[in-house]
């Protein structure tokens, strides 16, 4: 056990769980139409999806978008309908870090931009998520990174100041906002690089990910 070490806070999408909306949309309309839809700056899928991450309901989101962009009506509903196809499995290396930290008694939190309506899909599919002491889901809090309010929600849920807690996220603007909130935040590039960041901070991790599964590894999704 390592009770003197600060908690570690993980972003989820493309840090612990691979995510790509293209396969979900393509499942209904094909690769070419999915690519065209996602590349359309007028629609701006990222901003549209972010609103759901911040608490907007999917029924409203699809209704409004389908009125404004009738040419994309099929693409708009395809993402939620085939959402599981956007979840590409856990990221090798990051899951091992989570499990090693958990085994060492480090408190673990997740802070994720994710729709409240769709987060249950991930909880059912990825056993590793149940190792976290708490998961702050933006859609449930109705505020999303990089809004300072979501970092305040993390502090409230953790029951302690954020200073010293290590936070990792693949989006630089979220990392910058986390640093403003007093987290020890790093940009995620690769699991090996993050492992090195944690080792440098004194966390009890092996220099490299285990070559054999730890005893409680589930089968990869």
Look-up of token digits 């708009």? 76
And the tokens for 206?
A: 């092996």
The pLDDT value recorded for residue 214 is 40
pLDDT at 185: 98
pLDDT of residue 2: 57
Does the 8-16+91-200 domain belong in CATH 3.40.50.1000?
Answer: yes
Domain ranges in the chain? 8-16+91-200, 20-86
Strand, helix or coil for residue 140: helix
Which regions in the chain score pLDDT beneath 50?
A: 1, 211-221
Scanning 159-217, the segments in alpha helix (DSSP H) are 172-180, 191-200
Angle at 17 between CA 15 and CA 20, to 5 degrees: 100
Q: How far is CA 117 from CA 18, 64, 80, 81, in A?
A: 19, 18, 10, 12
pLDDT for 194 = 97
**pLDDT of 210:** 58
Q: Report angle CA 183, 186, 190 to the nearest 5 degrees.
A: 150
Q: What pLDDT, on a 0 to 100 scale, did the predictor assign at position 208?
A: 76
Task: List residues bridging with 10 in a β-sheet.
Answer: 110, 168
Instruction: Tell me the residue length of the chain.
Output: 221
Report pLDDT for 112. 98
């Amino acid at each position: 056990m390592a009770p003197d070490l600060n908690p570690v806070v993980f972003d989820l999408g493309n840090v612990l769980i691979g995510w790509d909306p293209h396969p979900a949309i393509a499942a209904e309309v094909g690769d070419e139409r999915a690519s065209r839809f996602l590349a359309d700056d007028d629609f701006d899928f990222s901003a549209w999806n972010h609103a759901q991450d911040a608490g907007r309901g999917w029924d409203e989101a699809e209704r409004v978008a389908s009125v404004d962009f009738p040419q994309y009506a099929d693409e708009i509903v395809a993402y939620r309908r085939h959402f599981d196809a956007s979840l590409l499995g856990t990221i090798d290396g990051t899951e091992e870090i989570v499990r090693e930290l958990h085994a060492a008694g480090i408190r673990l939190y997740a802070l994720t931009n994710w729709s409240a309506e769709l987060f249950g899909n991930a909880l059912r599919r990825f056993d590793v998520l149940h190792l976290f002491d708490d998961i702050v889901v933006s859609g449930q809090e109705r505020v999303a990174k990089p809004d300072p309010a979501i970092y305040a929600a993390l502090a409230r849920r953790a029951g302690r100041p954020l200073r010293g807690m290590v936070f990792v996220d693949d989006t630089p603007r979220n990392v910058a906002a986390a640093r403003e909130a007093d987290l020890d935040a790093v940009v995620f590039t690769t699991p090996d690089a993050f492992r090195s960041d944690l080792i440098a901070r004194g966390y009890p991790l092996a220099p490299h990910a285990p070559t054999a599964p730890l005893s409680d590894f589930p089968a990869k999704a």
